[in-house]
Structure 1
Amino acid sequence: MMRSNVKSSKLSIFKKTALITVLGIALTSNIAYAADDGLSTVYHVYMDGEHIGTTDSKDVITSYIDELITAREEANDTYAYVTKQEISYVPERVFNPDASNEEVLTKIEEDIAIQVNAYGLQIGDKIAGYFKNKEEAEKTLQQYKEKYVDKEILENLENADKDSDDEPMPLSVGDSAILEVELSEEVTYQEEKVNEDVVITVDQGIELLEKGTLQDKVHTVEEGDVLGSIAGQYDLTTEKLIALNETLSEDAVLQIGQELNVTEYAPFVNVVVTKEELVEEEIAYEKEVEQSDDLYKGEKEVKQEGQDGKKEVQYAIEISNGSVVSKEVINEEVTKEPTKEIIVEGTKVESSRGSGNFIWPTVGGYISSYMGERWGSYHKGIDIAGPSNRAIIAADNGTVESAGWDSGGYGNKVIINHNNGYKTVYAHLASISVSSGETVTQGEQIGVMGTTGNSTGIHLHIEVYKDGNRIDPASIF
C-alpha cells in the first residue's frame, strides 16, 4: 500500500510539474498572440486513436510521459521502456482556445501503460518467448543448437557457408562428418512492446525450448495398457487422463484399439542434423547345399567353410534432436568377397541298413522271461508275451539272413542282419511271411507269434547280437 502511495505521489508531482510548464508556455504565448492575428494553436490528443482531450502544448504531454519512463529506467536499467499506447496530436488554429491540460494529463495518468521494447523469438507461427533484445534471442537459439551439435562444428559450418568453394574432406573408415544443421521450423524475430514480467532470460529460453509446448495427441490402447501406465507415459496423472476423456472412469475396462485423448509436450523446434559416415560392415556368407548319393540320407559333410566378407558403406543420416530419423546408403564398396559355405547332404537310401534305433518287435506285450540263468540252463534272449495282436515286426531295417524251421528247438525262426553290426533272431513263430535274402524295413511284419519248437506257450523269443557277441535285448528296447 505504501509503495502504491509513493507511486501515486510521484505521478502527481510529474503532473504538477507538467502543468507549471504549460503555464509558463501559455504566458509566453499570450505575449506572442498580441502581435499575431488573434489565432491560437491547440492540439487534440489521441490515445490509440481515441480522443482524450485538448492541450495548448504538446510539450506538457511528452514531458510528462518522459518523466514516467525516466523513473522506470532509473529503477531498472535493464530494459528500454516505452508506452504501450500510441499518443498522437492533431493541431488546430482557433480564436478562443479551450484547452484542458489537466484533464488530458489525468486521463493519461489513469490509462497509460509502460512496457518494454522486446524481441519475440517466433518459431513457425508461435512465439516461443520474449527477450530484452535480439542478441539474447539469437544466443538462446544458438545454445539450443549446441545441445545437439558441438559449438566448434557449428562455427566451422558457418565459415564453410561463407566460402562455398571448399569441398568436404573424404571420409576414412570409422569417420563421420556433419554437413548441415538446420531448424525444423522457420525462425524470425519480432520487435514488440510487452509487459516487463513476460521477458525471459537466455537460460529460461533454453529450458522453454527443451520442454516444448503441449499438443493434442491420441493414444491407441494396446494389450497390457492400464490407465496408470498410459497416464505415466504422457506425464499425466490418472485424474487428468480421465478428465481428458469424458467416457472414462477409474474402474473403466479398456479395450484394445480404443483411442484416448492425451496431451504430450512437443518441441517448439527440432535441430535437424545431416551427416555422413563411413563404416566397415560384414557381408554374411551364403550357404549352399549339395546333394550326393555317396552319403546316406541324414549324413552331412562340409565341403567348403564359409567366411564373411567385408564392405565399406557410406551413409547419409538425418538426426532430429539427437534421434536418428533416417539412414540411407549413398555408396557401397566391397573390400573382401565372402566365401560361400557348401554343405553336402547324403541322399543314399538303403533300407537294408539299420539305423541302430530299435523298436519293440511286437504289438504291445511284456517281457515274461529275461535273459540269463533259467531252469538250470542259460536263456539266450528274452520272451515277450501278451501282445494286443500276434504280429511280429522287424525291429530295424535289414536283410533276412535266414527264414524257416530250426531243428534246434527254436521252431519257426527268422534271422535279420541289420548290416551295421547288429543281428536279431525271432523264434517260435506260428508262421513266417518273409524269405531269405529279402530286404525288410523297420516295422514291417515278418511273421505271426506262435508256440513252435520247444515252447511252453504262445510268445516271441528274441535274441540280439552286436559284432557277433550276444547282448541283452532288454538293453536296446
Structure 2
Amino acid sequence: MFQGKKVLQQCRRKGVLTGMLTLCAALLLVAAVYSYHAGFGYVVTIDGAEVAFLAKSDLKELTAFIDQLTDDAEIAFQMQVMRNETLDFVEDRRPGEHQSIAAVKDELRQRLSFSTYGYILTVDGRETVALKSVDDYDRVLRMMKKSYAAERENAVLKDFVIQEEIDFIKRPVQPDEIVSVEEAANILLTGLPQRKTHLVARGDSLWSISRAHNISMAALEAANPQIINRQLKPNDELNLVTVEPLVNVLTVEEVTVTEKIPFTTKYVKDNKLYTSQTKVLTNGKMGEKEVTYLITVENGQETARRVVKETVLSEPVDKVVAKGTAAAPKSGTGRFIWPLASGGTITSTFGPRWGKMHYAVDIAAAGGTPIRAADGGVVTTSSYRGSYGNLVVIDHGNGYSTYYAHNSRLLVKVGERVAKGQTIALMGSTGNSTGNHVHFEIRKHGTPINPLQFF
C-alpha cells in the first residue's frame, strides 16, 4: 500500500516537471519569434540615400507627419505644392538599430523641400518671372495695357504693341519665386536691377559717369564704397546698378484737347497821335478750337503726333491799334500826357503825407512798365539820385520841368532831346521805395505843382 502511494507521487512530480519544461520551451519560442520580428523596420531613403532606420510600428505616424509637412507648405504658400525629393521606405531587419520617431521627423523636416508648377513668362525666349496660373499670364498683359491707358488724361488707347515676343513655359519652381500679377507687370515695364561695370577713363568723374548711365550720384556712390572723396583714377572699375525695361511698349493714343487760337494785331494810322504814341481801338480776344491728335508713345516717351480732327469753337477777335503819324514836338507845349501809356494805379497823391509834404503823384504798375515823357524837352538828369533812386528830369523849356523817379532802368542820356510820349525809362522800385511805381512831379520855375490839375 505504502509502495503504491510513493510510486504515484513520483509520477505526479514527473508530470509537473514535464509541464513546466513545455511552458518554458513555449515562452522561449515566443521570445525568439518576437525578438526576430522586432528587428524588422524600414530604411528611410531620400533620393536613394539612406537617412534613417525606422521601427515598423512608427511607419504610420511618420507618413502622417509627411502629409502634415505638405499641408503646412500649401497653407504657407497658398498654393498646391509637391515634394522635390523622392522618399522611399525599404523593409529590412537590423536588431537594435531603430532610431526614435522624433529623430526621424527632425531629419525629414530639414531635408524635405517643396515646389509647385509655375508659369514662367518669357521675353524673346528669355525667362523672366514666375506666375501662379495661365490666367495670371493673361491678367499681366491686360494690366500692362491698362497702365498705359491710364497715363494720359482724356486719352483713348487705340493701339498697344509689345515689341518683343511674350510667351510662357510651365515647369516646377520654388513657391517663393511666384510673384503677383501687379509685380510681374511692373517688372516687365520697369525692369530689374542689373549689375554692370564701368572702366574709368581719363577725364571721367562720378557726375559724368552717372549722367552717361542715367543713375543718380547717390546710387553710384552706394554701389562703390571704395571711392574716397569722389576721387577716381584711370582703369578703376566701378560697379553700376541700372534698371532697364524688359519689354519695349509702343502705344498709339487718341487725345482730344481744347486749345487757344491766338489773335492777330492790326495797326491803323492816326494823324492825331504822335509817332511815339499808340492807342488800342479794339482789344484782341483769343479764339478756341477742339483738336484731336493721334500720339505715338514709346516706353512712355512721345515720339510723334498728328492732327486728325480740328473744330473751331470760337473765332479770335483781332486787336486793332492806332499808331500815330504826327511828328511830336521836341520842345514843351505846356500840355502834359499821362506818363504811362495806359492805366496804372494812383497810390499817393500830391499833398500832406505822413506828417510832411508829398510833392508828386505816385503811380503803380508792374515792374518794367514803360515810362514816357509827359511833354517834349531836354533831359537834364538821368542817373541815380539818393532817395529818388534812378531819376529822369526833363526841362521843357517853358518854365516847366518833370521828374520821373524810382525807375529800374534809364533809357535816355543827359542832353538828349526827347519827344512827348517817348519812352524814357522802365518802372521799378529803386531808392526810397516800397514797391514798383513812378514818382511823377511837375515843377513850374522850380516849384512843385499838383500834376493832377493837368489831367
TM-score, normalised to structure 1, is 0.41
Question: With structure 2 as the length reference, what TM-score do the two structures score?
Answer: 0.42
